Structure 1
Amino acid sequence: MGFGLVVRFTTHDAASARAFDGLAEEALKGIRTQEPGTLVYVNHSVPDEPNVRVFYELYADRAAFEEHERQPHVQRFLSERAQHLASFEVTFLDEISGKGTPDRQAEQ
């Protein structure tokens, strides 16, 4: 079963939001090329909340998430993001059912 999380970030202001997006994009370069267990990793903006970003992350399993957390590009993101943030909230997710996840591909 997949393992996921949703993270809601609130940046200080528009300049912080732009800097945060740049930092996230740098991390995504490594995520795209070096993390086969990271299935989905998306930075979303929120309409009418210009300083809010929501990440949706889906991993093959908990071990893939833990491997993601150990990567240098992720460690850099985690250490640098605080300067841009007023707050953040993490919600971990365990899959019940769905479409498009690895265990569900055969069902589609």
Structure 2
Amino acid sequence: MSEGFGLVVRFALCDQEAAAAFDELCATTLVGIKAAEPGTLTYVVHVPEGEPLVRVFYELYADRAAFEAHEAQAHTQRFLAEREQYLAGVEVTFLNAISGKVAVQQ
């Protein structure tokens, strides 16, 4: 399975107020992702059970070029610039697909 490029990002948020503002920033960013990024196959924000100040992103792109196109978008640049004020920490894990099942794009 040579197609697909993904990442998991774990964000630790400063407090409940920061979490609410971060969630709003995510919602605004997702509007742009849905409208302008055909190479972004999956972009999901999760709250781990029992960790209300943590957000985990799962992102899957058609390929590395699609990820780079995502990073260059104005809505993504805004997210990257504004998120820092809400964060206590961040961990990024890049993923290269080797096997699995993916949904067929229509």
TM-score bracket for this pair, using the shorter chain length: over 0.9
- How high is the TM-score relative to the length of structure 1? 0.92
Give the Cα–Cα distance (whole angstroms) in 2 for the partners of residues 8 and 101 of structure 1.
24
Of 30, 52, 57, the residue aligned with 2:32 is: 30
Query: CA-to-partner distance for each residue in 1:50-107, whole Å, 9 max, x for gaps?
Result: 00000000000000000000000000000000000000000000001111156xx8xx
Q: Which has the higher strand share?
A: 1
- What percentage of residue pairs aligned between the two structures are identical? 63
Segments of structure 1 that go 5 or more residues without pairing to the other structure are: none
* Number of the residue aligned with 1:52: 54
Q: Count residues with an aligned counterpart.
A: 103
| Equivalent AA in structure 2 for residue 42 of structure 1 | V
Q: Secondary structure at the match of 1:58?
A: strand
| Equivalent AA in structure 2 for residue 100 of structure 1 | V
Runs of 4 or more above 4 Å deviation? none
Q: Which has the higher helix share?
A: 1
Q: Secondary structure at the match of 1:88?
A: strand
Query: CA-to-partner distance for each residue in 1:15-34, whole Å, 9 max, x for gaps?
Result: 11111010011110000010
- How high is the TM-score relative to the length of structure 2? 0.94
Segments of structure 2 that go 5 or more residues without pairing to the other structure are: none
Q: Secondary structure at the match of 2:43?
A: strand
